[in-house]
Amino acid sequence: MKSLGKILLFMAFTISLTLCFISCIGIEASTKIDSKGAGTFSVVYQISKDFVDFGSEETTPSLPLALSREDIERGLQGSEGISLKSYSKTNNANNTIISFALNFASPENLIDYLDPTRSYTRFSEENGSYSLKFDFGNDIPPLDPDMKKYIFEQFSSYRFILIIETAKSPAPEVSIKYGDFIRKTSSGKKTILECAMADLLTVSSSPQIEIVWR
């Protein structure tokens, strides 16, 4: 499975070529980790139907999203400590909603699946403290004002949400560089990061995020 960073970079590049197809996508990812480090990673893609049709619901060089159960299962082949828990696909008037959940034996198993080459992530564990650092890839070339305006208009209702929940308090600590537009809230055992997809696609410097938990 390609990392979220690769997906976002692909989208930013493709916008200039296929504006009518890639108009809308929202991503909500949630990770729940138990006291032993195992857990569940859940993802919900909210994708415009034009975007889905453009990719013919397959992972191809022109559409780097695993949209079918078969794609996800194929991407899991050879991965250790991770398995598909559930999958669903629904439609509304304008969007296709793809939801799936993965069980993982350790955070490292999940990271190995999401970023096999560790191009965008760095993970460490020491004395019961876990640290995950990641970014969204290389900086995106500056966009002209008309392009930025178009992106904000097309992505106005789409969000990027990342939820991290651990087995015990305090909530995971998060530090963000180059991401003033990312809203961070913490309560109990849970931390939530949220921003507009348009901000991610138009930012000049890729956000760098570090998450620390026990």
3-state secondary structure of 42: strand
63 has a pLDDT exceeding 60 = no
Helices (H) and strands (E) in the chain, counts: 6, 11
Place 24 in a pLDDT band, splitting at 50, 70 and 90: low
Q: Mean pLDDT, to the nearest integer, of 6-24?
A: 39
Q: Which amino acid is at 78?
A: G
- pLDDT by residue (tens digit) across 126-160? 888 999 998 877 666 778 888 888 888 877 788 99
**Contact between residue 198 and residue 187 where contact means Cβ atoms under 8 Å apart:** no
| Of 13-22, 30-39, 144-153, 204-213, the least confident | 13-22
Compute the average pLDDT of residues 57-84. Answer: 76
Q: Which of 35, 36, 41, 14 is nearest to 25 (CA)?
A: 14
> At residue 119, does pLDDT exceed 80?
yes
Name the average pLDDT for the chain.
81
Q: At what angle do helices 4-15 and 145-154 cross, to 10 degrees?
A: 120
Q: Which of 26, 11, 7, 15 is nearest to 66 (CA)?
A: 7
